[in-house]
Copies of this chain bind each other. A is one copy, B any other.
Amino acid sequence: MKIKEQEYLENYDITKYERPSIATDMVVFTIVEDKEESNYRKLSDKHLKVLMIQRGQPPFQNMWALPGGFCKSTETVYEAAKRELKEETNADRAHLELCGVFSDQGRDPRGWIISQAFMALINNEVVRVRAGGDAWEAKWFRVSLKKIQETSEKGENGGSCINTYRLELNCDEICLWAVVSEELLYEDYHASVEYKLIDSEGIGFDHGKIITYVLKKLRDKVEEDGKIVFDLLPEVFTLSDLQKAFEIILDKPFLSPNFRRKISKYVIETEHTLTGGGHRPAKLFRRNVEEFYR
Contact = CB atoms under 8 A, between A and B. Distances in A.
B74 A105 contact: yes
A64 interface: no
Interface string A28-60: 000000000000000000000000000001110
A52 B111 CA distance: 34
A222 to B, nearest CB: 13
Interface string A86-128: 0000000111101011011100011111101000000000000
A19 interface: yes
Nearest to A105: B74
A98 to B, nearest CB: 6
| Copies of this polypeptide in the complex | 2
A5 interface: yes
B114 A77 contact: yes
A12 B110 contact: yes
Contact of A20 (B2, B22, B158, B191): B22
A77 to B, nearest CB: 5
A9 interface: yes
A137 to B, nearest CB: 15
A286 B293 CA distance: 38
Contacts of A286: 189
A76 B103 contact: yes
Interface of A: 2-5, 8-9, 12, 14, 17-22, 57-59, 61, 70-74, 76-78, 93-96, 98, 100-101, 103-105, 109-114, 116, 158-159, 161, 184, 186-192, 224, 230-231, 235, 286-287, 289, 292-294
24 contacts: A3-B57, A3-B58, A5-B58, A9-B58, A9-B110, A12-B110, A18-B72, A20-B71, A20-B73, A22-B22, A73-B105, A74-B105, A76-B105, A77-B103, A93-B188, A94-B190, A96-B192, A98-B101, A101-B101, A184-B293, A186-B289, A189-B230, A189-B235, A189-B289
